[in-house]
Structures are given as C-alpha cells and as structure tokens.
Amino acid sequence: MLIKSFFIKKTMKQKIAYIFFILLLYLFLFDPPFYMFRGALRFSNLILASSFIYIIHYWKSIKQIVSFQKRELHLFSILFIFIIIRCALQLEMSFVNKTLMAFLNIFMVLPFLIHFAKKNGFGSEDQIVRAIMITCTIATIITMICIGNSIVQEVVKFQILQMDEEEYLFKNEYRGFGLASKLTSNYGFILGFIAGVGCFYLKRNKWFLFCIPFMIIAGVVNSRTSVIIASEIIIIYLFFSKQKLYAVIIGIVAFMFLNYFESFLELIGVNDRTFDWIMSFQDQVSSVAKTGNIHSSYTANIIFGSHVIWPENIDEWMLGRGYDIFYASGFHSDNGWIRQLNFGGLFYILLFYYIMIFLMRRLVNSHQRVYMLIFLLVFSVVNSKTMSYPGDTLFPLMMLFYFFKIKPAPIKIIKHENINSNYSSPLL
C-alpha cells in the first residue's frame, strides 16, 4: 500500500529500481553491521565505493548536483584540510577518518542517490522523501518485532549484530531494538527526525500519520533523545504549517499519544526495565520544566556538568588537543560542543560555525525559515548528546533535505554517458 501509488504506470525496471533504492537508503542510513569478507568490508564502505564508480560514469549529469553546492563543498573542504593538519600534528588520525566519512557521505553518496532516483523516474523531493519515510517505516516495523518477540531480539542482537555479553549487559539489555549499527544514538535520532519532518509531507502521504506514533516509540526505546527531536519538529509544524486540517489532526494525535503514553508502551510489549528507563527520562523532563533548573535532570547534569571539560592552556584554547576526548583515558565527554572545542580549539569552532551560519543564511535566502529553524534545533539537540558533524548519517540526511530546500535548478539526465580518453573526472 505504501508504494502502490508509485507502481501505477511504472515499468518493471523502474519498480525494481525503486525497491533497490529503498534498500540502498536503509543500508546508507542505518548501516546494519553485516560483515563481508571476514569483516574487511561493511555496507557503508561498499556504498562509498559504488558511489565513486557511479559518479565517475555519470559525472556530466552529477556535476550539476555538486556544482549547486559548490560553496558548501569549498567550505567543508577547508574544514577538512584543517582537521588533517591538526591530527597530523598530534599523530592521531581517528578524527580524520570520521570527518572523511561524513564529507564523502554529503558530497559523494548524496549526489549518487539523488541522480540514481532522478535517472529512474522518482527524483523529485516528494518522491525521495516518501522513499525515506518508507525506509524508516521498515526500520520501525523491525524494531516493533524485536520489542514484541524476545526470541527474535536475541537472534538479532547475538547472531546478526554479534554483540558480546559485556556490551549487551552494559548498554543494550534494556535498549538497542532493531537492525542497525549505532542503535542507541544515530538510529533513534533519524527515526525521531523523520517522524517529525514527515508531518510536513502528510498531504501526499496520509498513510504516514498512522506510522508516526510507532516511529517515535521505535526511536525512544533506543535513544530517549529521539523524542525531543520529534517533539520540537512537531511543535514547529503545529505553529507554522499551512495545512490546518493536518495540523489539527497531528495535534489531536499528539495529545492522545502523550496522555496514553504509558499504556501505549505496555500495549506493544516493552519490558519492565526498558519501561522504567523511558519513564525515568519523562520524570527528568518534568522536573526541569517545573523547576527551570536543567541540573535537576540526572542526564542533563552529566552532559552539562561532569562532561564539560575545558581546555587547560592557551594552546589548547586556540588549537585544541588534536584528538577526540570521547575516547580519551582519564576523562571523557559525550557533549559535542565540548568535544569540538577540545579537538580544534577556537579556530575550529569559528571555522565550523561560520559554515553553519552560511547554511542557515542560504536557507533563509531561499525562504526556508521553517526548515532553518528545524535544522538549527535538531543540530543543537544532537550536538549536545554527541557530535553532529563529524558524526553518523543524521547530518548527511539533514543535508539532503537542505539540498531540496535551497531549490536547486532542474537536473538534466544525460543519457548514454561514457568515459573517453579526453574525459577526466575531478574526483580522480
């Protein structure tokens, strides 16, 4: 039913391409850790390699996508060069690896996905967003099955994801339901983001209204932060949506969802420990709302208290330590703002947030103030819990929406592209 409307009047080739596109999106967004060749290659790496080959072959068409984000490419490249130099001075390259992956996801994988969709007849914003909504709905269904069936959950955790017992007991006994890597962070963030942003696309995707509560639950049983992401986007939708009927419906659904939240968790079969873990977060949020003191929340007190680690001298304030303190021994922080400051100092902070201001201004100049607000708030929430950039695939996903919101010129697909002796790709 979800893709029936697309399949009408489509060729078999287009139908197969669409299903393959959904699979690509799942592998890209959630990177389920199926190891191939004895662990030497993961799907995320395979997608990067495939994107590179695809872009070389279709460069004449894809360069339209890349050139439209030429300024963004230049700015992120400058940031990447600084990161390489800073890590080289410290002789610690893990931050380079993370940044390279994020950079390639934005400027190589996204153009590949956009062009592939366009080439096969489903490349508009609405069509690609619908495919993302379907992908996240599939992820939600898998999570719901894992929640409701302990046998399936054990097979997924121990046989497919291959968690060891220590990892399971430490952080995944009461969360980590689904088929993805980074279940307790990126996976939940993405589901929360799409559950919220999907409200803006309900007019052509009425079926998604039914999925939103389940998607929020699928996010919150893995990462409680996801409910904050979904809530702030839905609040923005209720304030700014021009689709008044859908806004009223979403408001009613949200009211019922909040009032019957505990019953809903019990209905879908959430176990006692997961239930207590989720409800403790609700108590913390209520405490902050009543007292106005963020430190009344245990989680917030850690993130904005013990995880706030300042540079120790003028050199560290200016150029940072040159490594990610998330992995440091003796002290540790999840807080993305603090990790960025400690990595590259004020120089990195000024450079990175100049880029962020540039992105915000371009959205405003494209008359996309609502998405600018969404982008800013989601980035701020996630960056308080971990690093948004370089991070996992949430930031590239937000950049995909950014690409559509700045209204690129129509992409012309050049048929029968071939590489000849006179052609040299700038990516080589």
Is the domain of 253 the same as that of 203? yes
- Residue 245: exposure state from Cβ atoms within 10 A (0-12, 13-18, ≥19): exposed
Q: What is the pLDDT of residue 335?
A: 86
Is the domain of 154 the same as that of 261? yes
List the single range of 119-133, 250-264, 387-401 with lowest mean pLDDT: 250-264
Provide the whole-model pTM. Answer: 0.89
Is the domain of 173 the same as that of 286? no
Is 189 a domain residue?
yes
Is 260 a domain residue?
yes
Q: What is the pLDDT of residue 427?
A: 32
What is the mean pLDDT of the segment spanning 311-336? 83
**Distance separating alpha carbons of residues 309 and 304, to the nearest angstrom:** 10
Is 338 a domain residue?
no
Is the domain of 169 the same as that of 223? yes
Is 171 a domain residue?
yes
Is the domain of 264 the same as that of 148? yes
Is the domain of 170 the same as that of 213? yes
Is the domain of 170 the same as that of 259? yes
List the single range of 15-24, 138-147, 259-268, 339-348 with lowest mean pLDDT: 259-268
Where do we find the tokens 């390639």? 104
Is the domain of 265 the same as that of 284? no
Is 421 a domain residue?
no
Is 237 a domain residue?
yes
Is 243 a domain residue?
yes
Per-residue model confidence as pLDDT tens digits over 236-262: 998 888 877 878 888 888 888 877 777
Band (pLDDT 50/70/90 cuts) for residue 423 is: very low
Is the domain of 172 the same as that of 233? yes
Band (pLDDT 50/70/90 cuts) for residue 43 is: confident
Average pLDDT for the chain: 83
Determine what percent of the chain is predicted with pLDDT higher than 70. Answer: 83
Is the domain of 199 the same as that of 226? yes
Is 187 a domain residue?
yes
What is the mean pLDDT of the segment spanning 403-415? 73
Q: What is the pLDDT of residue 426?
A: 33
Residues 378, 229 contacting (CB under 8 angstroms): yes
Band (pLDDT 50/70/90 cuts) for residue 218 is: very high
Q: HEC states along the chain? A: CCCHHHHCCCCHHHHHHHHHHHHHHHHHHHCCCCCECCCCECHHHHHHHHHHHHHHHCHHHHHHHHHHCHHHHHHHHHHHHHHHHHHHHHCCCHHHHHHHHHHHHHHHHHHHHHHHHHHCCCCCHHHHHHHHHHHHHHHHHHHHHHHHCHHHHHHHHHHHCCCCHHHHHHHHCCCCCCCCCCHHHHHHHHHHHHHHHHHHHHHHCCCHHHHHHHHHHHHHCCCCHHHHHHHHHHHHHHHHCCCHHHHHHHHHHHHHHHHCHHHHHHHCCCCHHHHHHHHHHHHHHHHHHHHCCHHHCHHHHHHHHHCCCCCCCHHHHHHCCCCCHHHCCCCCCCCHHHHHHHHHHHHHHHHHHHHHHHHHHHHHHCCCHHHHHHHHHHHHHHHHHCCCCCCCCHHHHHHHHHHHHCCCCCCCCCCCCCCCCCCCCCCC
Where does a domain end: 289, 306, 323? 306
What is the mean pLDDT of the segment spanning 47-68? 88
Q: What is the pLDDT of residue 158?
A: 67
Domain count across the chain: 2
Range of the domain at 302: 278-306
Q: What is the pLDDT of residue 266?
A: 76
Per-residue model confidence as pLDDT tens digits over 128-149: 999 999 999 999 999 999 888 8
Is the domain of 147 the same as that of 261? yes
Where does a domain end: 224, 244, 270? 270
Is the domain of 141 the same as that of 256? yes
